[in-house]
Amino acid sequence: MSYESGKSISTLRILFKNYLNDPPRFKPKVNSNCHLLVDGTYFKTNFCALHYFDNDLNHLQYFRIVERENYYNYLTDIEFLKQLGLTVVSITSDGQKGLVKAVKAVYLNVIHQRCIIHIQRLSLAYLTRFPKTDAGIELRYLVKELHRIETYYDKDIWIEYFNNWHTKYNDFLKEMSESDSGRRWYTHKSIRRTRSLIKNALPSMFFYLDDYRIPKSTNGLETKFSYLKNSLRIHRGLSNENRKNFVVWYNYFKYNS
């Protein structure tokens, strides 16, 4: 870099230091019909970056570094975006409870699409790669078909299969195990956990069928997180504060410059 720029290493270090000490501010773009992708990603040095990406404008409307995802942080950011005049029609997210609550508090009638891929990925993790019961095997097959749903017909067929599965294995999932001390628990916890995840998410899983502009997943945002973290990994020697500022500058140059 020194050779290509014609500047000395010490000069470059001063320039980088000045950049890192003075992170930029984001400039939201006006959009009266905004479909947002919202997600947070954690870094190893214990901070979280919240992203609000406008899928229509391909623009990062807002970004903030916080300690963790929670209701207060999401509420603060969403209120700020509303005050700036951003009209949000839909939000696609992984369904983090604090975010869901914050969205309802600020945008009462906004459509909140649950990320299909997140539901699929989490369900497959619960069920494991090789379930040992017929109930687990059949549910895993259904889960793997989720991302293929592109029409109302596909949706109706999938829900019918899921409901039939639920009826077929309802008694099976009520089976209990008991220890020598008398403590009791549900035997098939992972399958029950997957069932609960799907049942709770079902009302918010298929809004994207009503409007092609509603993203059905946050995969695009998660891909951007991967590029960001790979770039940050190159600069391992940065202090924690400078790592945060590096993330801000990266996003600024990527989406706002």
pLDDT tens sequence across 143-193 = 999 999 999 999 999 999 999 999 999 999 999 998 888 899 999 999 999
Question: What pLDDT is attached to residue 234?
Answer: 81
Question: What pLDDT is attached to residue 3?
Answer: 59
CA angle 168, 174, 176 (to 5 degrees): 140
Of 19 and 1, which is predicted with more confidence?
19
Number of domains observed in the structure of the chain: 2
- pTM reported for the whole predicted model: 0.86
Distance between CA atoms of residues 117 and 155, nearest Å: 15
Tokens 């790979």 belong to residue? 230
| Domain presence at residue 179 | yes
Same domain, 109 and 30: yes
| Domain presence at residue 12 | no
| Domain presence at residue 14 | no
The separation between CA 71 and the C-alpha centre of its own chain, rounded to angstroms, equals 15
**3-state DSSP assignment of residue 65:** strand
For residue 69, what pLDDT band results from cuts at 50, 70 and 90? very high
How many alpha carbons lie under 13 Å from residue 15 in its C-beta half-sphere? 9
CB proximity list for 215: less than 8 A, separation 6 or greater: 35, 37, 55, 92, 113, 208
Domain of 111, in residue numbers: 24-115+217-257
Task: Kindly report the CATH number assigned to the domain that includes residue 51.
Answer: 3.30.420.10
Instruction: Compute and round to an integer the Cα radius of gyration of the chain.
Output: 22
What is the arithmetic mean of pLDDT over 48-72?
A: 92
CA angle 114, 94, 233 (to 5 degrees): 145
